C-alpha cells in the first residue's frame, strides 16, 4: 500500500472526478424527473449517490480531502435520514480511521526525527497504528520511563497534500452544497486551508496541549493527556484509554450519551475562559469517554488533538453572550445594533430587527430551557428552514455576514451542536452558558455570583 497518495497528477485526477460525477448524476436526475419521479425523491437519490462517491474518494486520499471529510462528517445530523442513514458508518470511519502508511515509512520518519537509536526511547512500540487521520497516524507505545504513550507521526508530504486537496476542493465547493442543506461549504474549505500551517506545526500543537493539560490537571470532568516529547513531525503524549465518542454515538447508553454531551458542551465553553484557547477540531474522533477517577465519581471526557486552536486571550467574545441573552429576552433593537456593530450586518444593508430576532430564536432554542435534548430531527428542521429558498429565513440569512474573527468560533459551535445531535444527548446547556460565557448573565447577576464565589473561597 502506498503511504500518502501525494503525486499531484494522481490526487488531482481523483478529486477532479468528483465534479464530473456530480454533473453526470444531475443529468441522470433530470431524466428521472422527465420520467415522472418527484423532484424531492430525485434530490434525495442524488444526495445518496453524491455522498457515496465523495466519502469513497476522501477516505482514500487522506490529506486535505480527509480533513474536509472529517469537518463535513459532524454535520451529518442535518441530512435527511434517508441519506444520512446509509452513510453514517462511512462518516464514522472518516472520523476514526484511514489507511495506514507502511511500517518502513514510519521507521524512516522516527529515525530522521528522533535519531537512529529511536527504539531506545521506548520500552515497547506497536507497529500497527491505533488511529490514523488527515495528516498523521498514532502508534501506541511505552516510553522509557514506563508511561503508556501515544506517538503521533506526520505523513511525509502531508502539508503539500493538504494544500493541494483543499485548493482542488474549493474549485467545486458549490457542487458539494447539496450534501449539507443550509451550509455554505466554500468558507469551510477556505478556513481549513488557512489553518494548515498551524496544524502541521507540532511545536504549536504541543504548546496548546500543555496549556490545556496544566489547566485541567485536577479537573474531575475533563482529562487532557500531557505532552511527553515533541519534535518536527513527531509528537509523543500520554496515552488515555476510553470509549471513542463515535462508539458512544452508535452504541452508548442514554446515561453515557447525556454525560458525553454535557461534558462536550462544558469543554467548549469553559476551555477559552480557562486557557484563552478554543479547541477547534471537535469531531468525534478527538474525544473519549473515560471511567470515573474515583469509585463514586462520574464518567469523564478525554480530549485529544490540539493541532487546531483559536487564540482567544479574553475568552469567547462578550458580544456572543450578550447577543444570546438579549435574543432570549426578545430585545430585537439592541440585538440588531450589536450585530451591526460587530459586522454581522453590513453598513450597506438595512434589515428589520424583528425579522432578525425571528431568524435567531429557533437556532438558540437549546439555551432557553433548563435542559434540551439535541436530536437529528431538530438539526434537520433548522437546516431545512434556512436552506429552503422560499423561506424568509433563507432570504434573511443570505444578507447576514460572518466577520472573519468569528468564523472559527462559528464552525466549532456548529460542529459541537452536530455532535450533540448525533449523541441525541439531553444537556443542561443554559447552565454551562451561565457559568462560562461572558455577557450571558446580566452584569448585576454576574457580579453577585463572583461575590458569592469570593466569599465562599
Q: How confident is the model at residue 64 (pLDDT cuts 50, 70, 90)?
A: low
Structure confidence at residue 219 as a pLDDT band (50, 70, 90) = very high
Q: What is the pLDDT of residue 442?
A: 82
Q: What is the pLDDT of residue 61?
A: 52
For the cut 70, the answer to whether the pLDDT of residue 447 exceeds it is no
Mean pLDDT score of the chain: 80
244-270: pLDDT as tens digits: 999 999 999 999 999 999 999 999 999
Q: What is the location of CATH 1.10.510.10 in the chain? A: 103-154+201-311
Average pLDDT over residues 100-128: 94
Question: What's the pLDDT score for residue 341?
Answer: 94
CA distance 412 to 390: 28
Stretch among 138-142, 191-195, 237-241, 355-359 having the lowest mean pLDDT: 191-195
Q: What is the pLDDT of residues 417-439, one digit of tens each?
A: 989 999 999 999 999 999 999 99
Determine the pLDDT at residue 281.
Answer: 87
Q: What integer is the mean pLDDT of 341-353?
A: 92
Query: Does 103-154+201-311 carry CATH code 1.10.510.10?
Result: yes
* Mean pLDDT lowest among 175-179, 348-352, 362-366: 175-179
Q: How many residues does the chain have?
A: 457
Weakest-pLDDT range from 285-289, 349-353, 452-456: 452-456
* Choice between 43 and 203, residue whose per-residue pLDDT is larger: 203
Using CA atoms, how far residue 47 sits from 52, 66, 233, 378, in Å, is 8, 19, 38, 20
Q: Are 153 and 139 in contact (CB under 8 A)?
A: yes
pLDDT at 63 over 50: yes
Check: pTM over 0.85? Answer yes or no.
no
CB within 8 A of 128, min separation 6: which ones? 100, 139
Bridging pattern class, strands 243-244 and 227-231: unpaired
For Cα atoms 228, 233, 236, give the angle at the middle one, nearest 5 degrees.
Answer: 15
Three cell numbers, residue 352: 428589520
**Residue 114 CB coordination number (10 Å):** 19
**E strand segments, 304-452:** 309-311, 372-373, 426-427
Residue 374 has pLDDT above 90, yes or no: yes
Cell 452544497, residue located: 177
pLDDT reported for residue 32 = 36
pLDDT digits (tens, 9 = 90+) for 130-165: 987 667 889 999 999 999 999 999 988 777 777 776
Cβ atoms of residues 46 and 26 within 8 Å: yes
Output the pLDDT for position 451: 55
Joined grid coordinates for residue 184: 455554505
pLDDT score, position 408: 85
Instruction: Name residue, grid cell 451550509.
Output: 183
Amino acid at each position: 500500500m502506498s503511504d500518502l497518495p501525494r503525486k499531484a497528477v494522481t490526487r488531482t485526477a481523483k478529486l477532479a472526478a468528483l465534479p464530473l460525477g456530480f454533473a453526470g448524476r444531475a443529468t441522470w436526475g433530470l431524466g428521472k424527473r422527465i420520467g415522472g419521479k418527484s423532484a424531492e425523491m430525485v434530490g434525495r437519490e442524488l444526495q445518496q449517490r453524491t455522498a457515496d462517491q465523495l466519502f469513497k474518494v476522501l477516505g482514500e486520499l487522506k490529506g486535505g480531502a480527509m480533513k474536509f471529510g472529517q469537518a463535513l462528517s459532524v454535520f451529518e445530523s442535518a441530512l435527511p435520514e434517508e441519506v444520512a442513514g446509509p452513510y453514517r458508518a462511512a462518516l464514522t470511519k472518516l472520523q476514526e480511521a484511514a489507511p495506514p502508511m507502511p511500517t518502513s515509512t514510519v521507521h524512516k520518519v522516527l529515525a530522521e526525527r528522533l535519531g537512529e537509536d529511536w527504539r531506545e526511547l521506548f520500552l515497547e512500540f506497536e507497529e500497527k497504528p491505533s488511529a490514523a487521520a488527515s495528516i498523521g497516524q498514532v502508534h501506541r507505545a511505552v516510553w522509557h520511563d514506563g508511561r503508556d504513550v501515544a506517538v503521533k507521526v506526520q505523513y511525509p508530504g502531508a502539508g503539500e497534500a493538504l494544500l493541494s486537496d483543499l485548493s482542488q476542493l474549493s474549485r467545486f465547493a458549490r457542487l458539494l452544497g447539496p450534501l449539507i442543506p443550509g451550509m455554505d461549504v466554500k468558507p469551510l474549505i477556505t478556513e481549513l486551508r488557512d489553518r494548515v500551517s498551524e496544524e502541521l506545526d507540532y511545536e504549536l500543537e504541543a504548546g496548546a496541549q500543555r496549556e490545556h493539560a496544566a489547566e485541567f490537571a485536577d479537573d474531575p470532568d475533563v482529562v487532557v493527556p500531557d505532552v511527553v516529547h515533541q519534535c518536527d513531525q513527531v509528537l509523543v503524549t500520554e496515552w488515555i484509554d476510553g470509549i471513542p465518542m463515535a462508539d458512544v454515538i452508535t452504541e452508548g447508553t442514554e446515561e453515557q450519551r447525556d454525560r458525553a454531551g454535557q461534558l462536550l458542551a462544558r469543554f467548549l465553553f469553559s476551555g477559552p475562559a480557562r486557557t484563552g484557547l478554543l479547541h477547534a477540531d471537535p469531531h468525534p474522533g478527538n474525544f473519549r469517554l473515560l471511567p470515573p477517577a474515583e469509585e463514586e465519581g462520574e464518567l469523564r471526557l478525554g480530549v485529544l488533538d490540539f493541532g487546531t486552536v483559536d487564540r482567544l486571550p479574553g475568552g469567547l467574545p462578550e458580544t456572543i453572550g450578550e447577543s444570546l441573552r438579549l435574543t432570549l429576552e426578545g430585545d430585537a433593537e439592541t440585538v440588531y445594533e450589536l450585530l451591526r456593530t460587530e459586522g454581522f450586518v453590513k453598513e450597506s444593508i438595512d434589515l428589520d430587527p424583528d425579522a432578525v430576532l425571528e431568524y435567531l430564536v429557533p437556532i438558540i432554542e437549546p439555551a432557553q430551557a433548563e435542559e434540551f435534548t439535541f436530536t437529528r430531527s431538530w438539526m434537520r428542521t433548522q437546516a431545512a428552514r434556512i436552506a429552503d429558498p422560499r423561506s424568509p429565513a433563507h432570504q434573511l440569512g443570505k444578507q447576514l455576514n460572518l466577520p472573519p474573527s468569528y468564523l472559527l468560533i462559528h464552525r466549532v459551535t456548529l460542529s459541537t451542536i452536530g455532535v450533540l445531535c448525533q449523541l441525541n444527548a439531553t444537556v443542561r446547556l443554559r447552565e454551562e452558558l451561565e457559568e462560562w460565557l461572558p455577557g450571558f448573565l446580566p452584569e448585576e447577576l454576574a457580579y453577585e455570583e463572583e461575590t458569592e464565589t469570593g466569599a465562599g473561597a
